[in-house]
A and B are shown apart, each in its own frame.
Chain A
């Protein structure tokens, strides 16, 4: 709860009848930070954002804005602004009047407002669109105007609820860069809601990964990718292999496991005792096929499927009953490999992540891939 935090959430909980939308959410969001709430649909991202905006009242907990408790301040007196998913531009007002609206509510003089409107239109690259009506703009343009309208009062934090969700892929990627640039320019704290992990990874300083109202991990993209704190986080971000294993030995620094009769070593602190059932995770791009260099983990496997994807190959391999996928850059792929052949798979001990087997139920499975 330092003074230079933009927003503090302290044990914030929201219940709708019997549904707990958000559960004991605690986080400190620093000034100027690009902070993302990431998670599958229904995990409580929007509810969290709406509580910060003041559009929803927490059942329990406290919300601090720049150090001051705003838990019982109505939305219209909170110095935060929201970019809604469907933009919510007022259809009966021109672009200029839309942007003037928050200034008028703050009783900013018309001449001062005029300068600010021009400045913010320039910021989002929409000069000359002031006299259009929202319905005369494209999706991407509306998005920029919604952004301008929310930024014109220079709020303590800007809240964005899946702002790029309605745009097609190419425009979305372009707008990600625009948003990131604008955020750097104005230096305002952004709280960004998305269910798209790559969007969160590329844009954020820190990410809170949520599931069923719980924040599983709050950390930098790098930390979340390399040191996921739960199997859910591990599965939700990036492409991960999950195989069953049993702990053979664990000294707190190195954990040796049995996977389908072969030894797998993990070089990290694992909180499981000898004989415990484990879920062993390895990133697909960290698995090497027939490597030249010697690495700690080597298992032999049968190549069961090869998929060419342009920049890379995805090789699915069988180790007993377990299945492991390796994603190999096309330039380093050995064209002599055939389905049905035997290969040696290898990976570094640092790249092995181990979770208790109970967490397997939280694993998000993509496109019917076997765990």
Chain B
């Protein structure tokens, strides 16, 4: 028994190291004054300063945030509507429909990217923020839809029936009962969609013209070698993602956790 426990602990530690060591390296070298990977003498914020003096990078960062926010807004509206549709309406081939809707999220980005590029080219749509945004909407919508529809089906129809029984018309039922009960799922789905959109590169790469998002810009930077600036921006993105993921975990948990969040809100 004891031997097996120890083996598992070592195994776990190795996996942990394998997963997180590269991140630690990136983090460390973003503060290293030398350009090389070897040797670490002293700490510096030089690379971070350079970042903030690179207007093109700042613009790319701003683009990414903008695409992310817009994609989240659109995906939340469409995804929620879709979620209500698949949980409330019965129709033949519903299973197939659900799978098809998830496809843009599950398919390799390269397929989605090429497909959308061909699509926009054929329609003579100029590659711009709009095309990138549409690309991001295509995979964030199913994400929101999945989160919200699983919350809706876990909720069941009884609360809605109870609300109507107690005198609430369909609009009041949605506003006072259904919406508050899926609120945490909506916030969680929005955060997740933003996180995914923020570091999306493959689809964006195909749909980008001169209007670049941050991941695409970073990829471009790397063609001129691994600059410590890349480490610095990676570190910033890493920390930002961690913050988002922490918030997300608060909202997308199973019912027990979500109730805890609601309990705090209700006080």
Does A associate with B in a complex?
A: yes
| Chain A residues within CB distance 8 Å of chain B | 53-55, 74-77, 80-82, 84, 86, 88, 90-94, 101-102, 105-106, 133, 135, 149-150, 153
Q: Which residues of B contact A106 (CB under 8 A)?
A: 167
> Quick check: is B107 within 8 A (CB to CB) of the other chain?
no
In the bound complex, do residue B165 and residue A55 qualify as a contact, i.e. CB atoms below 8 Å apart? Answer: yes
Q: What are some 13 contacts across the A-B interface (CB < 8 A)?
A: A54-B164, A75-B161, A76-B164, A76-B166, A81-B166, A88-B161, A91-B259, A92-B262, A101-B163, A101-B168, A102-B166, A105-B172, A149-B166
* Per-position 1/0 for B154-192, Cβ under 8 A of A: 000011011111111100100011001100000000000
In the bound complex, do residue A92 and residue B266 qualify as a contact, i.e. CB atoms below 8 Å apart? Answer: yes
Q: Which residues of A contact B159 (CB under 8 A)?
A: 88, 90
Q: Which residues of B contact A91 (CB under 8 A)?
A: 181, 259, 262
Given contacts A93-B266, A101-B176, A133-B263, contact A86 B158 (CB under 8 A): yes
Instruction: Report how far A82 CA is from B167 CA in the complex, Å.
Output: 11
Given contacts A91-B259, A92-B181, A94-B266, contact A55 B166 (CB under 8 A): no
| Chain B residues within CB distance 8 Å of chain A | 158-159, 161-169, 172, 176-177, 180-181, 259, 262-263, 265-266
Choose from B167, B180, B263, B266 the contact partner of A105 (Cβ within 8 Å): B167
Q: Which residues of B contact A74 (CB under 8 A)?
A: 164, 169
Q: Which residues of B contact A92 (CB under 8 A)?
A: 180-181, 262, 265-266
A257 to chain B, nearest CB (A): 51
- Besides A81-B166, A86-B158, A91-B259, 12 new A-B residue pairs in contact (Cβ under 8 A), listed by A number: A54-B165, A55-B164, A74-B164, A74-B169, A76-B166, A81-B165, A88-B158, A90-B181, A91-B181, A92-B265, A101-B163, A105-B167
In the bound complex, do residue B165 and residue A82 qualify as a contact, i.e. CB atoms below 8 Å apart? Answer: yes
Instruction: Report how far A74 CA is from B169 CA in the complex, Å.
Output: 9
| CB closest residue in chain B, given A104 | B176
**Majority secondary structure of chain B interface residues (helix, strand, loop or mixed):** helix
Given contacts A84-B161, A88-B159, contact A102 B266 (CB under 8 A): no
Q: Which residues of A contact B262 (CB under 8 A)?
A: 91-92
In the bound complex, do residue B177 and residue A90 qualify as a contact, i.e. CB atoms below 8 Å apart? Answer: yes
| CB closest residue in chain A, given B181 | A92
| CB closest residue in chain A, given B158 | A88
In the bound complex, do residue B161 and residue A76 qualify as a contact, i.e. CB atoms below 8 Å apart? Answer: no
In the bound complex, do residue A76 and residue B168 qualify as a contact, i.e. CB atoms below 8 Å apart? Answer: yes
In the bound complex, do residue A101 and residue B166 qualify as a contact, i.e. CB atoms below 8 Å apart? Answer: yes
In the bound complex, do residue A53 and residue B165 qualify as a contact, i.e. CB atoms below 8 Å apart? Answer: yes
Given contacts A92-B181, A105-B168, A105-B172, contact A135 B259 (CB under 8 A): yes
| CB closest residue in chain B, given A136 | B263
Choose from B161, B176, B265 the contact partner of A55 (Cβ within 8 Å): B161
In the bound complex, do residue B259 and residue A76 qualify as a contact, i.e. CB atoms below 8 Å apart? Answer: no
Given contacts A90-B177, A92-B262, A94-B266, contact A105 B162 (CB under 8 A): no
In the bound complex, do residue B181 and residue A76 qualify as a contact, i.e. CB atoms below 8 Å apart? Answer: no
Instruction: Report how far A74 CA is from B163 CA in the complex, Å.
Output: 12
B167 to chain A, nearest CB (A): 4
For the complex of A and B, the 3 pairs showing the least CB-CB separation, nearest first, are A105-B167, A88-B162, A102-B166
Given contacts A55-B164, A135-B263, contact A76 B158 (CB under 8 A): no
Q: Which of A74, A94, A135 neighbours the largest number of chain B CB atoms within 10 Å of its CB?
A: A135
Q: Which of B164, B165, B180 neighbours the largest number of chain A CB atoms within 10 Å of its CB?
A: B165
A134 to chain B, nearest CB (A): 10
Q: Which residues of A contact B161 (CB under 8 A)?
A: 55, 75, 82, 84, 88
Given contacts A76-B167, A102-B167, contact A82 B162 (CB under 8 A): yes
Q: Which residues of A contact B164 (CB under 8 A)?
A: 54-55, 74-76
Q: Which residues of A contact B166 (CB under 8 A)?
A: 76, 81, 101-102, 105, 149-150, 153
Instruction: Report how far A150 CA is from B158 CA in the complex, Å.
Output: 15
Q: Which residues of B contact A84 (CB under 8 A)?
A: 158, 161-162
